[in-house]
Amino acid sequence: MSESAMVPAPAAQPNDAPVLHVLFKVDDAIYALPSDVVLQMESFTGATFVPGAPRFVAGIIQLRGRVVPVIDLRTRFGLPPRAPTLETRVVVGEQHDRTVALVADSAREVVRMTRAQLKPPPRLLDEGATGFVKAVAQLGDRTVMVLDFAKIIGEELMDV
Amino acid sequence: MQVDLREFRAAYLAEVDEHLGAINAGLLAVEVANRAGRASPRELRELMRLLHTIKGLSAMVGIEPIVGIAHRMETVLRAADEAGGVLGDHALEAMIQGTRAIEAGVRAIAHDEPAPEASAALIAQLDAAEAAPASEQSLPPPIGDAQRPEIEPEIAEKLTASEREEVAQGIAAGRHLLRIDFAPTPAKAERGLTITTLRERILPLGELVRVIPLSRAATESAPGGLVFALLLLTEASAEIIAEAGGVPGSDVREILAARPLPRAVEVNRVEDLPEVVEAQRPGVLRVDVGRIDDTIEKLSGLIVTRSRLARAVGRLREGGADTRELEAIMIDNARQLRDLRAAILRVRMIPIATVLDRLPLVIRGLGRSTGKHVRLVLDGAGAELDKTVAERIFPALVHLLRNAVDHGIESPEERARAGKPEHATVTVTSSSRNNRQIEIRIEDDGRGVDRARVAEKAGRDVPTDNHDLLELLCRPGLSTRDAVNTTSGRGVGMDIVRKIVVEGLGGELALDTTAGRGTIFLIRVPLTIAIVDSFTLRCAGERFVVPVPVVEEIVELDPEKIMRGPRAGGRQARFFERRGETVPLVDLGYALGLGAESDGFTGKQALVVRRGHEDPVAFAIDRVLGQQETVVRPLVDPLVVVAGVSGSTDLGDGRATLVLDLLGLSAKLGRMRKDAA
Amino acid sequence: MSEVLVVDDSKVMREMIGACLRPDPSLAVTQAASGLEAIERLSLQAFDLVVLDLNMPDIGGLEVVEFIRGQDKLRTLPILVVTTRGEDASRASVLAAGASRYLTKPFTPEAILTEVQSLLGGPT
C-alpha cells in the first residue's frame, strides 16, 4: 500500500451547491461516489481471500490497522475478472458504521457536481451495474454513473 | 559551496503547518476560556511564541508577506498580554483571519506561487485589535495577596507574577503543587530518562507551571551540578506522578496543599478541545479506546520485530557464532514483551459489572410487557474482561434473558399451580475461569425447555442430551412460538447468540435444563481477544494462523497409516488411528473451500482438534511454520463473517493473514455431513 | 574539533543552522530542541560554543543565558544569540545577562558562519 490520497469532507452544503465526487473507472465506464462516503484511496496489491464470503468479495486488506473487506467491482457488476495493474485502485468507502473497500481499474479525478446535474438512471444501462447506479450525470462528453454505496456493500441483505 | 536556504522550503512548509495547527487549537482554547469568563495568559503567550517562530522561519527562507502578517498578529497578542491576558472577541476574530491569511500564503508557496500580501482589510482589523485587545471582555478577579499561598523562597523568587497567580488559582481550585526534582546523569540519559522525556510524561497529568534549573555543587547523584525543579499543579498524588515520570517517590513532594476556596473561583477544565485527557479522579484517566488499540498495534510491531531478531540470532548461531549472551537477552526481552502485553491489555479491561448493570432494566421491561413477575439476581460482578468482549456479549445476554422470560418462565397463575413462588428468579452469575476465560451463567427457575416441542419444530428426533438439544435450538429460524412474539421478535435468535459467542469471540455455549425446574445457559468467553499464542502454518500455498489452545496435537502424517473410508457426499473419507481412537482426516484447504482434496500426504502434518468431549478431527496441512504471539483482529463486517475464520492478523508483511477457528470449521463440516446424510 | 551546541525549538531552524556551519569541517554540531535540553546537555558534556534562539517555550533564551553564566565552569563559554526582528528589548537584556554576540533573522549562511568562527577564535 504505497500511495494514498485523503479526500477532504465538504462542509454542509445548501441545496444546489456543487458536491465533491470521486471518479473511478471499471472497464472503461466511469463511476462516482460522493466524497462524504469516501474515506481514502489506495493502490491495490491484492487482498487475502476469505473462504465462504460472497463471490464478489475479493477478500480482506489491512488499512492503517483496520481490517477492511474488499469488493471487486468487476465481479459485482458481472464482468470477467482482470489481474490488478499499476493503475488499479482501491476506493475505501464508509457508511452507517461499515467500512468497505471497492476495487476499481483506475481512480484519478475528483469533480464537483450539482444536484441539477444528476439525473435518474435510464433503463438501458449496462445490465451488470443495474440497481447499483442511483444517478447519471453528463460531464462534457463523458457519462458518469453515481453509485449507491449501500447497495454495493449489500446493506439490504444485512440484518442490522 | 553555496548554502541555499531556499532548499529548506519543503521542511519549512511542514513545520509551519504544524504550528498553524497549534495556533488554531490555541485560538479555540481562548474562545472556550472567553465563554467561561476566564483569562488565558498561557495560551496567549504560547500563540505569541508560535507566531514569533513562524516569523523568524519565514524571514530565513525569504517569504516577506508571511513575516508581515505574523509580526502584526504578534503585536496584537503582546497588547492583549499587557491588558491582563485576555483576547476579546473582535481581537480573536482578527487573529483567526490572520491565521487564514498565513494558511493561504503557505498554500501558495506549496504550489510554487508567491505568497499574497496581507489585504488592507486584514491590516485594519489587526491594527484595531492591537489598539483594543480586550474591550468587551471582563476579567475574573485575581486572588488577593492576603489569600496567596506561601511558596518556598528558592522557587518563589523565580516565578513571575502571572505564574504565582496561576498557582494561586490552581490551589483554590483544589489542586496541589508538586515539586519534582530531576538531576540529569549519563546513566539516566541512556535509559531514556531526560528532562525532555520526563516533562512529556507528566505533562498530561496536570499543569506544568514552570521548570526551573538550579545550580548545585556537583555530586555523584547530580554529576552535572544541575537539578531541574518541575512545578506541577495537579490533582494526582505524588506517588502517581513519581510512577508516571519514572522517578523515585522521594524526588516528588508536595510544596503547596490544595485549598479550595468556598466561593467559586472557577478554573474550569477545557472540555471542548479534542485531545485533552481529563482527570476525573486522582490517578484515573479517561482514554480513547482507539489509542489503546493503537498501542496494541505498536506492540504487535514490536513482537514482529522480535521474531525477526530471533531469526537473525538463529542465523548467527548457525554460522558458528557464540550467541549465548544474545539468547539470554532475547529471553529477557520476551518476558518483558509478555509483561508489556499484559499491562496494555489490563488497560482495556473493564469490570463485568458495567455489562451486567444494564440487565435489570432489560428484565423490568420484559416483565412489564409479558405480565410475568421476574426478579433478577446479579452475582460475582468482580470479574474484569476486555472492553470489546464486553460490548459484543451484551446482545447475547439480552437475548438469553428474553428467552428465559418469554419461554422459560411461566405466568403467575401457572407458577402458583405448580407450587412455585409468584416471582420468578433469574440469576446471572459471572466468574473467571483459569485466568483466561470468564464464565457467565444465566439460570431461571421456570419450566425448562420442552424437548419434544423443539424436536417437533425442527423435524428431528427428541434429543436425549443437552448438547444435541442446544444444537437444535441454535438452528436458524427456530421459534417454538407460532406467532412472532413482540418481545423476542425476530431480532436475535439462538443462532445469533451462538454466532456471537462462539464464532465472534471464540467462546463456548452450553445448556442444562430440567423439565419443570428451570434452565441454565452457560457462556464462556476469553478474557481478552487481543493477543493469542498461535501456530503459523502453510496450507494450499498460503499462510494461516491457528490459536495454540485449540490444537490438541500436531501429528506427522504417514501415508502408509492413512486409511480410506467410504465415499460420501462427493468426498473420500480418510482417517487414521491414534491411541485407540479413529480420527477423521480432512484437508484444511478443502475444508476452507480453497480447492479439491489432495491425495498425497508425504511430509505433511495434521492438526488434531477436539471440542469438549467430542470426537477429535485432524486437519491436514503442509507444515507448521512456527509459534508466536499474534494480535488477532476480529472480522466485523457482515460480508466477511464466515464460519471457520475468527479474525485476521499481521505477520509482519503488511498483508492480512487469516486466523482460523478450527473448532468452528469442524462443527460446520459436521453439519454439512449430517445434512448430506 | 570545536563542539557547537545549536539550540532552537524549530527543527527547520536547527537544520538550517547546521547547513550553514557545514562548510567548516572543524565544527561538530549537536542539536538541542529546548532550553531545558540545552542546559541538561551542557551539564553533562563540554561544548566550545552555544548558538541559542531567544524565542523558546518553557524556558526562554534569556533564562538559559542567565543560567549558563551562573555556572562556574561555563562562565566564559561563548554564546551567540539568534533573535528575530522586533525583539530589541530582549536583545539588550540578553547582552546584559552575558551573551557574547547576537545575530538577527534573517541572516545569510556566511554571516552566521563568520560569527561562529570569530567567536571560536578565527577559522582553523
DSSP string, B646-668: EEEE--SSSS-EEEE-HHHHHHH
Interface partners of C (3+ CB pairs, < 8 Å)? B
Q: Bigger pLDDT: C88 or B299? A: B299
Closest Cβ opposite residue B224 in set C23, C43, C84: C43
Rounded to the nearest integer, the mean pLDDT of chain A is: 80
Does the distance separating the beta carbons of A154 and B642 come in below 8 Å? no
Predicted confidence at residue A9, as pLDDT, reads: 44
CB–CB contact B640 A153 (8 Å): no
B448 shares a domain with B365 = yes
Structural domains of chain B, count: 5
Query: In whole numbers, what is the pLDDT of chain B averaged over residues?
Result: 80
Q: Looking at residue B138, what is its pLDDT?
A: 54
Instruction: List residues bridging with A92 in a β-sheet.
Output: A40, A101
- For residue A17, the model assigns a pLDDT of 79
Exposure on the CB side of residue B375, measured as CA atoms within 13 A = 4
Which of B106-120, B430-444, C88-102 has maximum average pLDDT?
B106-120
Say what the pLDDT of residue C21 is: 94
Judge whether B9 is closer than 8 Å to chain C, CB to CB: no
Cβ contact A47–B656 (<8 Å): yes
User: What percent of chain B is modeled with pLDDT above 90?
Assistant: 15
Chain C residues touching B209 at Cβ < 8 A: none
Q: Is the pLDDT confidence value at B499 over 50? A: yes
- Residue of higher predicted confidence among B51 and B490: B51
- Residue B137 inside a domain? The answer is no
Which residue range(s) make up the domain with B10? Answer: 5-131
Residue B208 within a domain: yes
Alpha-carbon span B307 to B279, nearest angstrom: 38
pLDDT score of A57: 94
Q: What residues of A are in contact with residue B648 (Cβ under 8 Å)?
A: 48, 60, 62, 67
Task: Report the alpha-carbon distance of residue B450 to residue B106 in Å, rounded.
Answer: 74
Query: Does the beta-carbon distance from A153 to B594 stay under 8 Å?
Result: no
Among the partner-chain residues B636, B640, B656, the one whose CB lies closest to the CB of A53 is: B640
- Show the cell assigned to B62: 525569504
Q: State residue B482's pLDDT score.
A: 39
Nearest chain B Cα distance for residue A112, angstroms: 21
Residue A82 CA: distances (Å) to CA of A75, A103, A135, B452? 9, 11, 26, 54
Q: How confident is the model at residue A128 (pLDDT cuts 50, 70, 90)?
A: low
The angle, 0 to 180 degrees and rounded to 10, between the axes of the packed helices B64-82 and B89-110 is 160
Q: Do chains A and C meet with 3 or more Cβ pairs nearer than 8 Å?
A: no
Chain B residues whose beta carbon lies within 8 Å of the beta carbon of residue C53: 56
DSSP states of B98-114:
HHHHHHHHHHHHHTT-P
Bridge pairing between strands A38-43 and A4-6: antiparallel
Q: Which residues in chain C are contacts of B210 at CB distance < 8 A?
A: 58
> Chain B contact for A32, CB < 8 A?
no
Nearest by CB to C16, from B53, B60, B199: name it.
Answer: B60
pLDDT at res. A156:
53
Check the CA dihedral B212-C45-C7-C117 and report its sign: positive
The alpha carbon of residue B5 is apart from the nearest alpha carbon of chain C, in Å, by: 7
Cell, residue B167 = 498557582
Domain boundaries, chain A: 18-153
Return the residue matching grid coordinates 426478579: B375
Q: Which residues of chain B make contact with C32, given a CB cutoff of 8 A?
A: none
B409 lies in the same domain as B432: yes
The mean pLDDT value for B403-427 works out to 88
Could you tell me which residue, B291 or B203, shows the higher pLDDT?
B203
Is B62 in contact with C106 (Cβ distance < 8 A)? yes
Q: What is the mean pLDDT of residues B50-58?
A: 92
Among A155, A102, A48, which Cα is nearest to B647's? A48
What residue spans define the domains of chain C? 2-119
Residue among C116, C118, C99 at smallest CA distance from C22:
C116
| Residue whose C-alpha is closest to residue B570's, from B445, B434, B673 | B673
The predicted structure's pLDDT at residue B485 = 41
The pairing of strands A142-147 and B571-578 is unpaired
Looking at the predicted structure, is the pLDDT value of residue B261 above 60?
no
Residue B506: pLDDT band with limits 50, 70, 90: low
pLDDT band at B275 (very low <50, low <70, confident <90, very high): very low
Cβ contact B–A (≥3 pairs, < 8 Å): yes
Buried b (16+ CB within 10 A) or exposed e, B633-667: bbbbbbbbbbbbbbbbbbbbeebbbbbbbbbbbbb
> Which of B294, B593, B656 minimises the CB distance to A67?
B656
Q: Does A95 touch chain B (CB under 8 A)?
A: no
Q: Say if residue C113's pLDDT is above 90.
A: yes
Chains C and B touch (3+ CB pairs under 8 A): yes
Q: Please determine, for residue B319, whether its predicted confidence score (pLDDT) is greater than 80.
A: yes
**Is the pLDDT reported for residue C89 higher than 70?**
no
B52-71 mean pLDDT: 92
pLDDT tier at C28, thresholds 50, 70, 90: very high
Q: C104: part of which helix (H) or strand (E)?
A: strand C101-105
Q: Rounded to two decimals, what is the model's pTM? A: 0.43
Residue B384 has a pLDDT of 76
Q: Report B:59-98 residues touching C (Cβ under 8 A).
A: 59-60, 62, 67, 71, 74
Give the pLDDT of residue C31: 94
Q: Which residues of B touch C44 (CB under 8 A)?
A: 184-186, 189, 223-224
Q: Comparing C-alpha atoms, which of B276, B298, B294 is closest to residue B286?
A: B276
Show the DSSP H helices in B111-138 as ranges.
Answer: 120-131
Q: What share of chain A is helix, strand, coil (3-state, %, to 5)?
A: 10, 45, 45
Using DSSP, state whether B671 is helix, strand or coil.
helix
Partner-chain residue, chosen from A65, A67, A154, that has the shortest CB–CB distance to B635: A67
Q: pLDDT > 70: what percent of chain B? A: 84
Candidates B493, B589, B605; CA nearest to B541 is B589
Other Cβ atoms less than 10 A from the Cβ of B467: the count is 14
Condensed to tens digits (0 to 9), the pLDDT of residues B586-636 reads 999 988 888 887 777 888 899 988 866 678 899 999 999 988 767 677 777
3-state secondary structure of B160: coil
Model pLDDT, residue B270: 34
Q: How many CB pairs under 8 A join B and C?
A: 104
Are β-strands B349-351 and B645-649 bridged in parallel, bridged antiparallel, or unpaired?
A: unpaired
Choose between A132 and B614: higher pLDDT: A132
Pairwise CA distance, residues A65 & A71, whole Å: 19
- Show the cell assigned to B352: 463485568
What does the pLDDT average to over C99-117?
A: 91
Q: B297 versus B572: which is more confidently predicted? A: B572
At residue A72, the pLDDT reads 94
User: What pLDDT is stored for residue B278 in this prediction?
Assistant: 35
A101 contact B CB<8A? no
Instruction: Return the pLDDT at A49.
Output: 92
Same domain for B338 and B376?
no
What sign does the dihedral B116-B120-B124-B125 (CA atoms) show?
negative
Q: E strands of B366-517, at which residues? A: 374-379, 384-386, 424-433, 437-444, 508-514
Compare B655 and B228 and report the one with higher pLDDT.
B228
ipTM of the complex model: 0.87
Cβ-Cβ contacts under 8 Å for A142 (sequence gap 6 or more): A30
* pLDDT given at position B267: 34
Average pLDDT over residues A146-152: 90
Report if residue B511 sits inside a domain. Answer: yes
pLDDT of residue B504: 63
For strands B633-634 and B623-631, give the pairing: unpaired
Burial class (CB in 10 A: 0-12, 13-18, 19+), B360: middle
Looking at domain C2-119, does it have CATH number 3.40.50.2300? yes
Summarize the confidence of residues A37-61 as an average pLDDT: 89
Q: Which residue of B has its CA nearest to A97?
A: B637
pLDDT of residue A16: 72
Angle between helices B64-82 and B120-131 (to 10 degrees): 20
Per DSSP, A48 falls in state B
pLDDT in the model for residue B264? 38
d(CA B438, CA B383): 8
Chain C touched by B116 (CB under 8 Å): no
Q: Strand locations in B277-331, DSSP E?
A: 279-281, 284-285
Q: Which residue has the higher pLDDT, A48 or B282?
A: A48
Whether residue C50 is predicted with pLDDT greater than 60 in this model: the reply is yes
Query: Chain B: residue nearest A159 by CA?
Result: B491
For residues B414 and B371, what is the distance between their CA atoms, to the nearest angstrom?
12
What is the distance, to the nearest Å, from the Cα of residue B35 to the centroid of all Cα atoms in its chain?
33
Q: Which residues of C touch B53 (CB under 8 A)?
A: 9-10, 55
Higher pLDDT, A15 or B451: B451
CA distance B593 to chain A (A): 6
Chain C environment of B154 (Cβ under 8 Å): none
Contact B60, B30 (CB under 8 A): no
CB contact under 8 A, A158 and B638: yes
- Mapping DSSP to helix (H, G, I), strand (E, B) and coil, where does residue A12 land? coil
Residues of chain C contacting residue B78, judged by C-beta atoms under 8 Å apart: none
Contacting subunits of B (3+ beta carbon pairs below 8 A): A, C
Q: Flag the least confident range among B338-347, B408-417, B457-466, C103-112.
A: B338-347
Tell me whether residues C84 and B52 touch, CB distance under 8 A.
yes
B648 pLDDT more than 70: yes
Better pLDDT: C21 or B30: C21
Spell out which residues of chain A touch residue B293, defining contact as CB-CB under 8 Å: 65
Architecture of the domain defined by A18-153? Beta Barrel (2.40)
Model confidence pLDDT, tens digit, residues B101-157: 998 899 888 888 889 988 888 888 888 888 887 765 555 555 555 556 677 777 887
The CATH number for B243's domain is: 3.30.70
pLDDT tens digits, C52-70:
998 888 788 888 998 999 8
Where residue A120 falls among pLDDT bands split at 50, 70, 90?
confident
Shortest Cα–Cα distance, A156 to chain B (Å): 12
Question: Residue B380: which CATH number?
Answer: 3.30.565.10
